Amino acid sequence: MPIITYREALRHAMAEELTRDENVVILGEEVAQFRGAYKVTEGLLEKFGPKRIVDTPISEAGFVGMGVGAAMLGIRPVIELMFWSFYSVAFDQIVNNAANIRYMSGGQINCPIVIRGPANGGTNVGATHSHTPENILAHHPGVKVVVPATPHDAKGLLKSAIRDNDPVFFLENTILYGLEGEVPAEEYLVPLGHADIKREGTDLTIVSYGRPVIQSLAAAQQLQQEHGLSVEIVDLRTIRPLDIDTVLKSVAKTHRVLIVEEQRPFASVGSQLAYMIQNEAFDELDAPIQRLGTIDAPAIYSPPVEIEQLPNSQRILKAALAAASA
Amino acid sequence: MSKKKTDATPEKNTAAKAAPEKTGSASAISATPPESVSATSASAAAPVNAALSADERVELYRRMVRIRRFEERSLRAYQSKKIGGFLHLYIGQEAVAVGCCSLMGKDDHVITAYRDHGHAIAVGMDTKPLMAELYGKVTGCSKGKGGSMHYFDPTRNFWGGHGIVGGQVPLGTGLAYAIKYRGLKGAAMAFMGDGAVNQGAVHEAYNLASLWDLPVIFVIENNGYSMGTSQARSSAGELATRAAGYDMKWEVINGHDLYEVRAKMDALLRRAREESKPAVVEIKTYRYRGHSVADPDKTYRNKAEIEEYQRTKDPITLFRTMLLAEGHLTDELVDKIDAEARSEADFAADFAEASPFPTADDIQRDVYWEADNPAQRVSGGRLFFN
Ligand SMILES: Cc1ncc(C[n+]2csc(CCOP(=O)(O)OP(=O)(O)O)c2C)c(N)n1
């Protein structure tokens, strides 16, 4: 299987869908001439032309709202937010319009929009550029929230997202853009709403998504080698709809759970997950559910300290040992 | 109610406002002399400029040079990976911040976007904590928490560098609201780039400011580009004239000429302070570097354009030429100012280098002011749950 980066996987997904369906358009700041702030859309302008790869002004409320309107009329806009952190500027369009339109119209109107771009911290860009909004987005019924961790999933999930008839919020990770992985040469889809077991194990389940999956895999390797601990890693991939069954199956196997997320712990995806696990698999648990997240403060700029604020393999290792011996 | 929307002519002036206090040492610039520079500017005769003492003129020059040398030094630190995140350099735009901020009185306030180093130095901040902030050190002006985009110094009426394009503009309007509410004769300057004018928040701020007669000057620093997008590809119509739709006065200023910036801004600031009236100004300027240091700057403009600008319109070179012609500056002093600015920047870098990083404990400081103590932070998850 060819090995490509997460960034390329996303680009290939868009290129394939642009080719397949002429209603697909890419809109966003610097996506065309500048080739994308993070170069995800590089080369698409040359291939598909300025009618389909469109640079917008810096006006998130305007172009996200415009995307919602166009989607109502059958266009399939893929909108790049230069950073997901800027979702707040377009929040009204996202939650009042995109999320509600199908329900409010009694099912008469679909909104097949994808909003994608990098989220998360770890690049020392401080409090306004390091948001993890997946919990806030997922709170709104009617939307789908996807966070891929590998190139394979990034491509397959984005293709599904573009074909989906509901608004899909697709959160990438700046640090993962350079991550390499195997991606099939032939066309494939990864369906939305299905978690994936990224590593099999018997002693502890780590439930995670996004970049912490990669960090957890590294920690699990070390735990196996140095502590003989067998860790199973469940990658949620889609936050909403949430595939709780795969999580519960894993819990039934290991009886211990550590949730690792790059979210602040208060009212996070992990909070919801912990509730669902204890509610539906209380009898399977041998120990309280543990959580590891971002230390509860806005993103600190200072580079060496931000590493400590976020989950990292060492913090995960420590938390996993504690969870396994609790 | 009908307000005139015209190119404002400077209104009646009295004495010039004193330039802000000097800080630390000085510096100068050593670009090759421009080929065609008018040695005097029409605005030099404006009362606010005519009233400047020789020392004050030199101080304005020094301040621009200090900004440039500081940023060149920070660029080197970034390239040697001492600085993380983004570094948006202000090089080329110095006359805007220095010109505008030199007019500040004690009740005037400033807010800007992420390209904030120039404004910080222009309001009189010490360069040591500024450099330390870039290094992420606890001695930084935001204790290493903000970084390049988030400089603050409320003691100098500087309400920060802000990272969301356009997001600071309503805040600037709020500064003006507070000034008026308190019955003070001050004004706020809200700086933004040419790309920011397309944000809805900016338009909402315009409306509020005009509707309620708030003493705020919206300063558009038009450097021609928002990241890789030129003004022509991002904005419909003229930028300044959008103010007319809100019944606000507007003005276009040549930002290469420090005297012109001061003359026109002085008139508008006086009007804001005296009559509590907002205005929009578009100051034409240019940035020499990429959008940020990480931007290779290759796809959207060519080198010749930058070089042509540097050769003919560099604000520091132009001002130096004028001061030399006026006899307020000598070649010797030029060199001295430049040398001092360089060593000031080196000194700031040494200071930053020698300073400690924040600790993991600092991550949760400054979240809630009333709970900012260790006992609260380890209280098992009430206020700070982890
Ligand atoms: C809401 C929002 N959208 C996008 C960005 C990313 N971004 C940062 S600076 C910038 C360009 C802004 O250009 P301009 O306002 O002209 O200011 P300049 O960089 O020229 O000083 C963009 C798109 C952001 N920080 N905030």
CA-CA distance, B230 to A267, in Å (whole number)?
41
CATH 3.30.420.40 fits A196-325, yes or no: no
Q: Residue B117 is inside which H or E element, if any?
A: helix B117-122
Range with the poorest average pLDDT among A186-195, A296-305, B2-11, B30-39: B2-11
pLDDT score for B205 = 98
Task: Give the mutation candidate from B130, B133, B229, B376 for the A interface (greatest A CB count, under 10 A).
Answer: B229
Contact A297 B384 (CB under 8 A): yes
pLDDT band at B31 (very low <50, low <70, confident <90, very high): very low
Query: Is the pLDDT assigned to residue B134 strictly greater than 80?
Result: yes
pLDDT score for B377 = 57
Query: Is the pLDDT assigned to residue B18 strictly greater than 80?
Result: no
Across the interface, of A29, A37, A300, the residue whose CB is closest to B363 is A300
CA-CA distance, B90 to A65, in Å (whole number)?
33
Angle made by CA atoms A142, A146, A147, in degrees to the nearest 5:
150
Residue B357: its chain A contacts at CB < 8 A?
302, 304-305
pLDDT score for B273 = 98
pLDDT score for B374 = 61
Query: Is the pLDDT assigned to residue B22 strictly greater than 70?
Result: no
- Locus of tokens 């406002």: B17
Range with the poorest average pLDDT among A42-46, A288-292, B149-153, B381-385: B381-385
pLDDT score for B285 = 98
Contact B85 A293 (CB under 8 A): no
Using DSSP's 3-state secondary structure scheme, residue B3 falls into coil
Query: Is the pLDDT assigned to residue B339 strictly greater than 60?
Result: yes
Determine how β-strand B279-284 pairs with β-strand B158-161: unpaired
Percentage of residues in chain B having pLDDT higher than 70: 85
Domain A3-182: homologous superfamily in CATH: Thiamin diphosphate (ThDP)-binding fold, Pyr/PP domains (3.40.50.970)
Domain boundaries, given as residue ranges, for chain A: 3-182, 196-325
Question: Across all residues in chain B, what is the average pLDDT?
Answer: 89
Within an 8 Å CB–CB cutoff, is residue A314 touching chain B?
A: no
Among left, alpha and beta (phi > 0; psi -120 to 50; other), residue B366 is left
pLDDT score for B320 = 98
Q: What is the distance in angstroms between the Cα of A139 and the nearest Cα belonging to chain B?
A: 21
Range with the poorest average pLDDT among A15-19, B31-35, B332-336, B339-343: B31-35
Nearest CA in chain B to A42: B299
Give yes or no: A194 in active site.
no
Tell me what the mean pLDDT of segment B221-235 comes to.
Answer: 97
Tell me the pTM.
Answer: 0.91
Tell me what the mean pLDDT of segment B300-321 comes to.
Answer: 95
CA-CA distance, A322 to A152, in Å (whole number)?
32
pLDDT score for B39 = 54
Count the residues in chain A.
Answer: 326
Within an 8 Å CB–CB cutoff, is residue A288 touching chain B?
A: no
Using alpha carbons, select from B104, B280, B281, B108 the residue that is nearest to residue B209: B280
CA-CA distance, B69 to B78, in Å (whole number)?
14
pLDDT score for B378 = 46
Question: Across all residues in chain A, what is the average pLDDT?
Answer: 97
| Residues in CB range of A282: below 8 A, 6 or more apart | none
Radius of gyration of chain B from its Cα atoms, rounded to whole angstroms: 21
pLDDT band at A131 (very low <50, low <70, confident <90, very high): very high
pLDDT score for B297 = 75
pLDDT band at B2 (very low <50, low <70, confident <90, very high): very low
CA-CA distance, A93 to A58, in Å (whole number)?
15
Query: Is the pLDDT assigned to residue B24 strictly greater than 70?
Result: no
Residue B226 near ligand 1, beta carbon < 6 Å: yes
pLDDT score for B26 = 36
Tell me what the mean pLDDT of segment A306-323 comes to.
Answer: 96
pLDDT score for B382 = 45
pLDDT score for B298 = 78
Using alpha carbons, select from B184, B179, B241 the residue that is nearest to residue B209: B179
Q: Residue B321 is inside which H or E element, if any?
A: helix B315-326
Residue A58 near ligand 1, beta carbon < 6 Å: yes
**Intrachain domains A3-182 and A196-325 with the same fold:** yes
Residue A37: its chain B contacts at CB < 8 A?
227
Omega into A241 within 30° of 0, i.e. cis?
A: yes
| ipTM confidence score | 0.92
Cβ-Cβ pairs closer than 8 A, A with B, add up to: 140
Query: Is the pLDDT assigned to residue B13 strictly greater than 80?
Result: no
Query: Is the pLDDT assigned to residue B350 strictly greater than 50?
Result: yes
pLDDT band at A326 (very low <50, low <70, confident <90, very high): confident
pLDDT digits (tens, 9 = 90+) for A90-125: 999 999 999 999 999 999 999 999 999 999 999 999
pLDDT digits (tens, 9 = 90+) for B40-69: 788 999 999 999 999 999 999 999 999 999
Nearest-atom number in ligand 1 for the CA of B93 is: 21
Query: Is the pLDDT assigned to residue B36 strictly greater than 60?
Result: no
Tell me what the mean pLDDT of segment B141-152 comes to.
Answer: 98
Percentage of residues in chain A having pLDDT higher than 70: 100
pLDDT score for B367 = 86
pLDDT score for B182 = 96
Report which protein residue has its CA nearest ligand 1's atom 5. Answer: B165
Range with the poorest average pLDDT among A59-68, B301-310, B377-386: B377-386
Give yes or no: A60 in active site.
yes
pLDDT band at A320 (very low <50, low <70, confident <90, very high): very high
Using alpha carbons, select from B1, B3, B21, B32 the residue that is nearest to residue B316: B32
CB contact at 8 A, B235 and B196: no
Residue B193 near ligand 1, beta carbon < 6 Å: yes
Q: What is the distance in angstroms between the Cα of A299 and the nearest Cα belonging to chain B?
A: 8
